[in-house]
Amino acid sequence: PVLAGVEKVVHLPGEPPEDVTDFRIVKSTRGETTGLSAGIPMDTALCEDCAAEIFDPENRRYLYPFTNCTTCGARFTVTRRLPYDRANTAMAPFEMCEECRREYEDPMDRRFHAQTISCPNCGPTFTLYDRMGNRISEGGWGPLKEFANLVDAGNIGVMKTWGGMQIVSLFEKVWDLREWYRRREKPFAVMARDLYSIEAIADLKDEDRAMLVHPGRPIVLVRKKRLKPPWDEVMDGISPGLDTIGVFLPYTALHYILFYFMESDFLIVTSANRRGEPMVTDNEEIFSLNADYYLLHDRDIVNRADDSLLKTFGDNVFFIRKSRGFVPEAIRIGGRLSVMAMGAEENLTITISRDGWAYHSQYIGNAESYGVMEFGRDASRTLRRYLGVERPEVIAVDMHPKYRTRRIGERLAEKFGASLVEIQHHHAHAASLIIDSVSPRVWDHRFAFITADGTGYGPDGTAWGGEILLAGLSGYKWIGGLEQVPLIGGEKAIRYPERVAFAMLDRRGIDHPLIDDMQAEMLRRAAAGAPLSSGLGRFLDAISAYYTICVERTYNGEPAMKVEPYLVKGSLVYRFEVETVGDPPRFSTSGLLAQAVHLDPTTFSERADIIYSMVHALIDAMVERAREQIIEANLDRRIGFTGGVAYSIPIVKMFVDLAEERRLKPILHNSVPAG
Ligand SMILES: [Zn+2]
Ligand SMILES: [Zn+2]
């Protein structure tokens, strides 16, 4: 099978018995997990053989939306416990018909021992409902055809797939969708009929193409093409203010069949959830969304899994959301203890290790709602059940005293009698990058890292952001970072980044052009007791606000993301001075902004050059600081880049160039998400 891989080869001494006449696959014993990574299968996009079958009118699975075989189909999202046998999956209630059983038992058949085998006679079915919950059509491919026509006509639909519910709408209806879903700016993903269609709207690199057709079928962030009116406006509506767009290809038979019935080559596809809550998986709850039509099936979603989201950078893959199609992946970490790591606060995943391998859960979300915490609890239970780790020996939590995940970790440690280990946030990023991209032979070495993350609790009790570390798996030393700037009003400064720009300029005695005296006085007073942040992201936010690129954050990372097109187009025109404070040094971001405000850009490209030059100066200073310390401590000439900012392709490019200029070898993420 395509997905098979040799995990290990074992030689046993002796002669083979002479009376061996056949080969059989026998029933798995309950609870036994052999070869753990192979034991937990991932969801895999419909294979070519199955795709050919569903469009062959002579085939008994013609237009059958649950078609799959041993090499493709839903796995993780339908599996309750191991071993991966039908009885342990959401397919248990659907009894195989005679024909399916024959295929299942025939070693020569593609569906030999395909646990989730089914056909139109025995499998789950789709039903189409209107917004009031009235049944419109039921069974076979009728509901799919009608749903496709309704979406083609401009209706907003919700459909249930393998691991969740998706909202779908026509590409050109993006503004209606935004109004209905109340998502003003948040980028949407676009599912396209085929690769050829994607090439019409985006510039693809070979690496992008390879990931688009990867069996995990992730959403890939690629560069937008400049289209003619009115399509340029539609493209901007999909991801306002960004030069990238998230695209992906059909992965379930359902998606293939919808496109078969649709005129349009593109669908906006976004997960169906209420703001801050995880994706809906329940057939009743979904009606509270008030979509026009619902296409729902009668198979349970066992494990919710969002569509994965990534970018490529050369041969590296940067996972922003690692979920459906890529979890639970086994990552070699060594060690013998079973550890359960609770994650931090944003972009949560739970990770559990067993026998030297770490398995992380699907993407869970931001720990801001009860629903997300519940999802996290379920995900960790599933993972523990899969791995047979009932009582982890160690619980790892973030050092931050106020994180919800920490409080839950403390309770679990008590319950399991496990020891509790506190991890410094930035050290965790650096350590994960070592595991991700450094050979195990040198895991006991220390390396230099630029860890550019939003907020992490520092050992001195302040909020760390952009920091430079010398770190190994078991410890770290802080060797510098960015200037700490007051976040006036705390969370408010993150929502309205103008406050950060104001704080920076005010520190330099410069008036902010958009803030009047009275406001300034109020902000100044509030700044006195405000929390400090040294985040590189906050500096990008301030730039975004100062140049009125984005003055209000409506989703995570928005102001900084909207600076990216400027970084892509800009070049090194200005030589800014980077001042330092203290020892180890913190590099002054307010000083950079203070130099830039004397320039008066009028065009996009002038602005782009200024922004590029500022960020370049800062990264240059950080890499140089790391280089000095690498030499002083006589370390390997390697330097890592991690944290949320390490998703920004133009900044990663700067980092790589600046490191290589100094004969340092950059280390970047590939399998573990940088954020
Ligand atoms: Zn298949
Ligand atoms: Zn059947």
The ligand that comes nearest to the alpha carbon of residue 99 is: 2
pLDDT value at position 171?
Answer: 92
pLDDT value at position 9?
Answer: 75
Say how far apart CA 275 and CA 255 lie, in whole Å.
25
Burial 453-488 (b: 16+ CB within 10 A, else e): bbbbbbeeeebbbbbbbbbbbeebebbbbbbbbbbb
Q: What is the pLDDT of residues 33-48, one digit of tens each?
A: 444 544 678 999 999 9
The ligand that comes nearest to the alpha carbon of residue 68 is: 1
The ligand that comes nearest to the alpha carbon of residue 122 is: 2
Say how far apart CA 542 and CA 590 lie, in whole Å.
10
Say how far apart CA 604 and CA 548 lie, in whole Å.
12
The ligand that comes nearest to the alpha carbon of residue 45 is: 1
Among 13-22, 255-264, 513-522, the least confident range? 13-22
Query: How far, in Å, from the CA of 65 to the mean position of ligand 1?
Result: 12
Say how far apart CA 229 and CA 245 lie, in whole Å.
17
Q: Which two tokens stand for residue 487?
A: 């976040």
Q: Which two tokens stand for residue 10?
A: 């074992």
Q: What is the pLDDT of residues 543-553, one digit of tens each?
A: 999 999 999 99
pLDDT value at position 671?
Answer: 92
Amino acid at 514: L
Query: How far, in Å, from the CA of 97 to the mean position of ligand 2?
Result: 4
Q: Which two tokens stand for residue 249?
A: 């290809």
Q: Which two tokens stand for residue 49?
A: 């053989």
The ligand that comes nearest to the alpha carbon of residue 100 is: 2
Query: How far, in Å, from the CA of 110 to the mean position of ligand 1?
Result: 8
- The confidence band for 7, taking pLDDT boundaries of 50, 70 and 90, is low
pLDDT of 5 higher than 80: no
The ligand that comes nearest to the alpha carbon of residue 70 is: 1
The fraction of the chain above a pLDDT of 70, given in percent, is: 97
Query: How far, in Å, from the CA of 60 to the mean position of ligand 2?
Result: 9
> Nearest-5° angle of CA 65, CA 71, CA 76?
75
pLDDT value at position 513?
Answer: 85
Query: How far, in Å, from the CA of 120 to the mean position of ligand 2?
Result: 6
pLDDT value at position 292?
Answer: 98
pLDDT value at position 462?
Answer: 87
Q: What is the pLDDT of residues 277-295, one digit of tens each?
A: 999 999 999 999 999 999 9
Query: How far, in Å, from the CA of 126 to the mean position of ligand 2?
Result: 16
Say how far apart CA 377 and CA 639 lie, in whole Å.
36
The ligand that comes nearest to the alpha carbon of residue 95 is: 2
Average pLDDT, integer, range 53-63: 98
Query: How far, in Å, from the CA of 133 to the mean position of ligand 2?
Result: 29
User: Residues within 5 Å of ion ligand 2 by Cβ?
Assistant: 97, 100, 119, 121-122
pLDDT of 27 higher than 70: no
Q: What is the pLDDT of residues 623-649, one digit of tens each?
A: 999 999 999 999 999 999 999 999 999
- φ, ψ for residue 552, nearest 5 deg: -140, 130
Query: How far, in Å, from the CA of 70 to the mean position of ligand 1?
Result: 6
- The confidence band for 537, taking pLDDT boundaries of 50, 70 and 90, is very high
Query: How far, in Å, from the CA of 322 to the mean position of ligand 1?
Result: 23
Burial 70-98 (b: 16+ CB within 10 A, else e): bbbbbbbbbbebbbbbbebbbbeebebee
Say how far apart CA 50 and CA 39 lie, in whole Å.
23
Query: How far, in Å, from the CA of 101 to the mean position of ligand 2?
Result: 7
- In whole numbers, what is the pLDDT of the chain averaged over residues? 93
pLDDT value at position 32?
Answer: 43
Say how far apart CA 404 and CA 402 lie, in whole Å.
6
Query: How far, in Å, from the CA of 75 to the mean position of ligand 2?
Result: 18
Query: How far, in Å, from the CA of 302 to the mean position of ligand 2?
Result: 22
Q: What is the pLDDT of residues 142-162, one digit of tens each?
A: 999 999 999 999 999 999 999
The ligand that comes nearest to the alpha carbon of residue 98 is: 2
**CB–CB of 394/337 below 8 Å?**
yes
Dihedral sign from CA coordinates of 202, 208, 213, 214: negative
Note whether 337-423 and 485-667 share their fold.
yes
pLDDT value at position 625?
Answer: 98
pLDDT value at position 19?
Answer: 79
The ligand that comes nearest to the alpha carbon of residue 97 is: 2
Structural domain boundaries in the chain: 36-105, 126-297, 337-423, 485-667
pLDDT of 31 higher than 50: no
- The confidence band for 368, taking pLDDT boundaries of 50, 70 and 90, is confident
The fraction of the chain above a pLDDT of 90, given in percent, is: 87
User: Residues within 5 Å of ion ligand 1 by Cβ?
Assistant: 47, 50, 69, 72
Query: How far, in Å, from the CA of 94 to the mean position of ligand 2?
Result: 9
Q: Closest by alpha carbon to 662, among 619, 612, 609, 610?
A: 619
Block residue for tokens 């009376």: 19
Pairing between strand 244-248 and 316-321? unpaired
pLDDT value at position 330?
Answer: 87
pLDDT value at position 87?
Answer: 94
Pick the CATH number of 485-667 from 3.40.640.10, 3.40.50.300, 3.30.420.40, 1.10.3720.10: 3.30.420.40
pLDDT of 598 higher than 80: yes
**CB–CB of 223/244 below 8 Å?**
yes
Say how far apart CA 255 and CA 260 lie, in whole Å.
9
Query: How far, in Å, from the CA of 96 to the mean position of ligand 2?
Result: 5
Q: Closest by alpha carbon to 346, among 372, 322, 316?
A: 372
Task: Say which residues have a Cβ less than 8 Å from residue 384's Cβ, sequence separation at least 6.
Answer: 340, 352, 390, 392
Q: Give the CATH fold of the 337-423 domain.
A: Nucleotidyltransferase; domain 5 (3.30.420)
- φ, ψ for residue 475, nearest 5 deg: -175, 175
For residue 230, is the peptide bond before it cis, meaning its omega torsion is within 30 degrees of 0? yes
Query: How far, in Å, from the CA of 103 to the mean position of ligand 2?
Result: 9
> Nearest-5° angle of CA 440, CA 441, CA 447?
80
The ligand that comes nearest to the alpha carbon of residue 253 is: 1
pLDDT of 29 higher than 60: no
Q: Is 357 exposed, middle or buried (0-12, 13-18, 19+ CB in 10 A)?
A: middle
Amino acid at 545: A
Burial 246-276 (b: 16+ CB within 10 A, else e): bbbbbbbbbbbbbbbbbebbbbbbbbbbeee
Q: What is the pLDDT of residues 157-169, one digit of tens each?
A: 999 999 999 999 9
H or E segment and range at residue 35: none
Q: Closest by alpha carbon to 563, among 506, 467, 484, 647?
A: 647
- CATH number corresponding to 126-297: 3.90.870.10
Query: How far, in Å, from the CA of 10 to the mean position of ligand 1?
Result: 30
Q: What is the pLDDT of residues 184-230, one digit of tens each?
A: 999 999 999 999 999 999 999 999 999 999 999 999 999 999 999 99
Say how far apart CA 52 and CA 4 lie, in whole Å.
22
Q: What is the pLDDT of residues 313-325, one digit of tens each?
A: 999 999 999 999 9
Q: Is 369 exposed, middle or buried (0-12, 13-18, 19+ CB in 10 A)?
A: middle
260 φψ region: left (φ > 0), alpha (ψ -120 to 50), beta (else): alpha
H or E segment and range at residue 64: none
pLDDT of 418 higher than 70: yes
Query: How far, in Å, from the CA of 86 to the mean position of ligand 2?
Result: 14
Number of residues that make up the chain: 675
Query: How far, in Å, from the CA of 135 to the mean position of ligand 1?
Result: 31
Say how far apart CA 378 and CA 388 lie, in whole Å.
15
pLDDT of 123 higher than 60: yes
**CB–CB of 580/207 below 8 Å?**
no
